[in-house]
């Protein structure tokens, strides 16, 4: 298949699938077998992770030693559980946290968190000591809490379905739960981002439709969405916990009269929180904005419904005011899914856009490419991914580019290396997604693939690659380690997903497995 070459040089490389490794304490089903070698570019490590039911990785972070920490959710009773402090599968859907040494191709520890209802982890981070912090949602009245700020599930006032609260947990570097707590009001909360400060303070951001969310020293004290009919629109929220998790330092709503969702956050050394997401609110709070008004006014259904716009908001260290807050988008639907900072406190954002007039600057790809999409009903998805680098003030674009091919493309996650290079992960339906000549996988695998792209400080591609097999794959989390390598996680339904030195060499049964990959 043809791919669009952006730049880069060709090199020959080797992929080894199913290399036999010492299993140690791993479950028997994780044994591997020898397979033939095949070309694979600079895919340094890649493995399935899962059991016999649905398993999905949602986020990843690397620690100072280069270990990979993966979180997500599992329906599998035989999902790998490793380590003396680990917990087995509870019921239905559980969150999981797995620590992997990709150099030695082994799981260091793996544990599950959950109760009798649905529990899914959405975000993960680590501190300088190797402690792990996880945030997600739970509907379980028996979620395992330890030294909790909120010891009970408060979500009880939902119509037609059970409510869920957020949960936040801190695990030691060996996987033992040090503290964990519910967080929420009487309706629903779901966090999508988590960060930890240098003093151990923990920040989360997500969505809520509770009008009684715990607030403290807020930027916005009250639920902002206009609830004229059920279900009510969501507001975004941002909350900072004290290092022990037993106190709220600040907690605030963030939004307007429409639906507002915070999808990720980043933290600078001064404790300012950079929050991104999407908003359907024409009155979303803007401060010293690059775009101060929403541009999309005719999306739907129903006709005339305001279009979603991406937003970027920088809250000060107290959480009480915005340093800057801006819309980011065009005249159609735009969503921001990930944010990361470089050493000069400049925000790098990724997401998806259907807008032909999405703001671009110094663009590697200056136009929306959706030639394979049609207006037939039901209308096909036609987004491209985007990557945008804002100035430190938030009022100018240093670069902003579309990223995609003729079909559906979305950027889900972003990180920045110590040298200021952005790495982006996502999903693509486009057989002509722009790859470079030095791609680990230059050709589309089939159906839906994941992708990973590494950008120079100027916004051009250093490398760009598909990752996937013949079935549905997507990359949902990406993290740059201390060497600049990209650690990528997500889900795969492909029996031929590319593997290199795996601890699990094959798809278990015929449902989704998580995957963990490293691209240099």
Using the Cα atoms of residue 421, residue 425, residue 426 and residue 427 in order, give the sign of their dihedral: positive
* Euclidean distance between CA atoms 131 and 179, whole angstroms: 11
Classified as helix, coil or strand, 29 is helix
Over residues 462-484, mean pLDDT: 97
Q: Which residues of 431-468 are buried (b: 16+ CB within 10 A; e: fewer)?
A: bbbbbbebbbbbebbbebbbbbbbbebebbbbbbbbbb
CA distance 483 to 461: 18
Of 14 and 110, more confident: 110
DSSP category for residue 366: -
Residue 402 has which token pair? Answer: 């579309």
Encode 24-61: b = buried (16+ Cβ within 10 Å), e = exposed. eebbeebebeeeeeeebbbbbbbbbbbbbbbbbbbbbb
Token pair for 55: 């398993």
Domains of the chain, first to last: 15-519 (2.130.10.10)
Cis peptide preceding 115, ω within 30 of 0: no
Alpha helices in 50-92 (DSSP H): none
Q: What is the pTM of this model?
A: 0.91
Tens digits of per-residue pLDDT, 151-168? 999 998 787 678 999 999
- In this predicted structure, which of 53-57, 162-166, 378-382, 511-515 has the lowest mean pLDDT? 378-382
Q: Report the pLDDT value the prediction gives residue 287, as an integer from 0 to 100.
A: 98
- Judged by average pLDDT, the poorest of 27-31, 261-265, 489-493 is 27-31
| Closest to 254 in 3D by CA, of 268, 240, 271 | 240
The continuous run of DSSP H or E covering 113 comes out as: strand 106-113
| pLDDT given at position 45 | 97
Residue 398 to residue 427: CA distance in whole angstroms: 25
User: Closest by alpha carbon to 122, among 172, 190, 173?
Assistant: 190
The answer to which of 27-31, 178-182, 296-300 has the lowest mean pLDDT is: 27-31
pLDDT surpassing 50 at residue 9 = no
């Amino acid at each position: 298949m043809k791919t669009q070459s952006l730049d880069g040089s060709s090199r020959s490389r080797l992929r080894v699938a199913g290399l036999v490794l010492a299993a140690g304490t791993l479950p028997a089903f994780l044994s591997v077998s020898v397979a033939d070698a095949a070309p694979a570019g600079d895919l340094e490590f890649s493995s399935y992770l899962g059991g016999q039911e649905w398993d999905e990785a949602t986020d990843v972070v690397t620690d100072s030693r280069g270990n990979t920490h993966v979180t997500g959710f599992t329906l599998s009773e035989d999902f790998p559980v490793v380590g003396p402090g680990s917990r087995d599968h509870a019921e239905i859907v559980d969150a999981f946290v797995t620590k992997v040494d990709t150099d030695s191709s082994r799981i260091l520890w793996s544990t599950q968190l959950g109760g009798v209802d649905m529990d899914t982890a959405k975000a993960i981070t680590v501190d300088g000591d190797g402690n792990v912090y996880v945030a997600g949602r739970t509907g379980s009245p028996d979620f395992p809490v330890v030294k909790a700020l909120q010891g009970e599930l408060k979500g009880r006032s939902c119509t037609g379905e059970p409510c869920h609260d957020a949960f936040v947990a801190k695990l030691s570097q060996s996987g033992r739960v040090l503290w964990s707590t519910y967080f929420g009001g009487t309706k629903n909360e779901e966090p999508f981002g988590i960060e930890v400060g240098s003093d151990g303070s923990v920040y989360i951001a997500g969505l809520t439709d509770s009008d009684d969310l715990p607030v403290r020293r807020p930027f916005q004290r009250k639920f902002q969405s206009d609830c004229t009919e059920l279900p009510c629109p969501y507001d975004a929220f941002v909350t900072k916990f004290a290092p022990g998790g037993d106190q709220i330092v600040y907690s605030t709503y963030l939004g307007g009269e429409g639906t507002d969702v915070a999808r990720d956050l980043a933290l600078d050394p001064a404790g300012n929180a950079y929050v991104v997401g999407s908003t359907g609110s024409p009155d979303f709070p803007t401060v010293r904005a690059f775009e101060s008004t929403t541009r999309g006014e005719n999306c739907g259904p129903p006709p005339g419904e305001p279009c979603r716009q991406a937003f970027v908001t920088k809250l000060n260290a107290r959480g009480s005011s915005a340093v800057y807050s801006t819309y980011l988008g065009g005249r159609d639907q735009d969503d921001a899914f990930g944010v990361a900072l470089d050493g000069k406190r400049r925000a790098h954002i990724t997401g998806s856009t259907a807008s032909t007039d999405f703001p671009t600057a110094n663009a590697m790809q200056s136009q929306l490419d959706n030639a394979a999409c049609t207006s037939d009903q039901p209308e096909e998805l036609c987004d491209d991914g985007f990557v945008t680098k804002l100035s430190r003030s938030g009022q100018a674009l240093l670069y902003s580019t579309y990223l995609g091919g003729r079909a559906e493309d979305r950027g889900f996650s972003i990180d920045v290396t110590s040298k200021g290079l952005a790495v982006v992960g996502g999903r693509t339906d486009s057989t002509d997604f722009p790859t470079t000549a030095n791609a680990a996988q230059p050709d589309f695998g089939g159906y839906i693939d994941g992708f990973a792209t590494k950008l120079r400080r100027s916004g051009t591609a250093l490398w760009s690659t598909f990752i996937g097999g013949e079935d549905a794959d997507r990359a949902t989390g990406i993290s740059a380690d201390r060497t600049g390598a990209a650690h990528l996680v997500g889900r795969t339904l492909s029996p031929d997903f590319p593997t290199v030195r795996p601890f699990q060499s094959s798809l278990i049964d015929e449902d989704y497995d998580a995957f963990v990959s490293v691209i240099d």
